[in-house]
Amino acid sequence: MQHFSLLDLSPVPEGKTAADALANTVDMAKTAEKAGYRRYWLAEHHNMPGIASAATAVVIGQVAAATRTMRVGAGGVMLPNHAPLIIAEQFGTLATLYPDRIDLGLGRAPGTDMATARALRRNLAGGEDSFPHDVQELMAYLGNGPLDPRVRAVPGEGTHVPVWILGSSLYGAQLAAALGLPYAFASHFAPQMLEEALEIYRRTFRPSAELAEPYAMIAAGVFVAETDREAAYLRSSQVLAFARLRQGNPGKLPRPVENITEEIPAPILAQVNLALSCSATGSPATVRKELGALIDRYRPDELMITGMIHDHGARKKSFELAAEVLSQLKTDETAG
């Protein structure tokens, strides 16, 4: 593991507002930079009362302005929702303002329900089917010359913003390998195909001008507190949020509960636990053991962690403790 990074969905807790969530994100980013995180990524979601990062590029700009050295980026932008030129201009502008600090992770899912996807795009023509072409078009705008010299990204051209392919299936692994790009797997909510995707990516990777060797990042949910019991209590907010989403009732991030089994029907809880199984929860000693096992099994080049906790102070503390654990694991791996 070369680096460890952080994914923030700008959660909106019950009893708070989107303004509170965005202020918390900026504050969290400052904490993450001091703690040693390599990247701070935000994700595009729409029509979600509990997530405030819909205008992802705007929030990235705020985070980049509040930090100095940490890389800031999208994990990711859902490219079918946008024209490649628009994203090239947005991230080209960010890269111009904050040179060598901006990342652009690209996904092919809508990041929302289909009614909202139609509202975003006006129509769904092309969509996921045009994703490989759209990625290459976007990269051309950010490179030394566009595919059509009559259309240029200004700012954008020549910025060479690093592009990542994101995925939770085998498709993204195959595309990232074919294009010679870094690959990030969304194992924090969809771990079922993680092992197979990493094997395909590494085995079929083709070196490119962007990347000589495969570079894979996996994501994990992490909740750290002084005791295992306290960490499980903090994590219950995210479990409740996922359960309500699966039941068609999305909302703000719920307050934590002592006994999650009393709140969620057993079949739904089983589904949620499977979706969130790539995770580590507990005291620093427990989390070190669980994250160590994940790293030993999957051998990621980078680990990105995330975790939605209702109380902002507890969330900051969780990520600070996680950074200490990850620094120890990184040191152990280097020494070994």
Q: What are the Cα distances from residue 319, in Å, to 36, 65, 121?
A: 10, 21, 36
| Residue whose tokens read 């708070």 | 16
Give the residues across from 51 on adjacent strands. 11
Q: Are 301 and 2 in contact (CB under 8 A)?
A: yes
CA distance 230 to 94: 39
Output the CA–CA distances (angstroms, integers) from residue 171 to 62, 177, 193, 197, in the order listed. Answer: 32, 10, 11, 8
Q: What's the pLDDT score for residue 334?
A: 73
10 Å Cβ neighbour count for 261? 9
Its pTM stands at: 0.94
- Which residues, in sequence order, are bridge partners of residue 185? 167, 218
What's the pLDDT at 110?
63
Exposure letters 15-40 (e unless 16+ CB within 10 A, then b): ebebebbbbbbeebbbbbbebebbbb
Per-residue pLDDT of the chain (336 residues; tens, 9 = 90+): 899 999 999 999 999 999 999 999 999 999 999 999 999 999 999 989 999 999 999 999 999 999 999 999 999 999 999 999 999 999 999 999 999 999 999 999 765 666 766 666 645 565 457 899 999 999 999 998 767 788 999 999 999 999 999 999 999 999 999 999 999 999 999 999 999 999 999 999 999 999 999 999 999 999 999 999 999 999 999 999 999 999 989 999 999 999 999 999 999 999 999 999 999 999 999 999 999 999 999 999 999 999 999 999 999 999 999 999 999 998 887 766
167-188 burial: b if 16+ Cβ within 10 Å, else e = bbbebbbbbbbebbbbbbbbbb
Instruction: Look up residue 201 and give its two tokens.
Output: 């990516």
Contact 85, 151 (CB under 8 A): yes
Q: Which CATH number fits domain 3-222+297-335: 3.20.20.30, 3.40.47.10, 3.50.50.60, 3.40.50.300?
A: 3.20.20.30
**Which amino acid is it at 98?**
Y
Could you give the count of Cα atoms lying within 13 Å of 75 in the half-sphere of its Cβ? Answer: 27
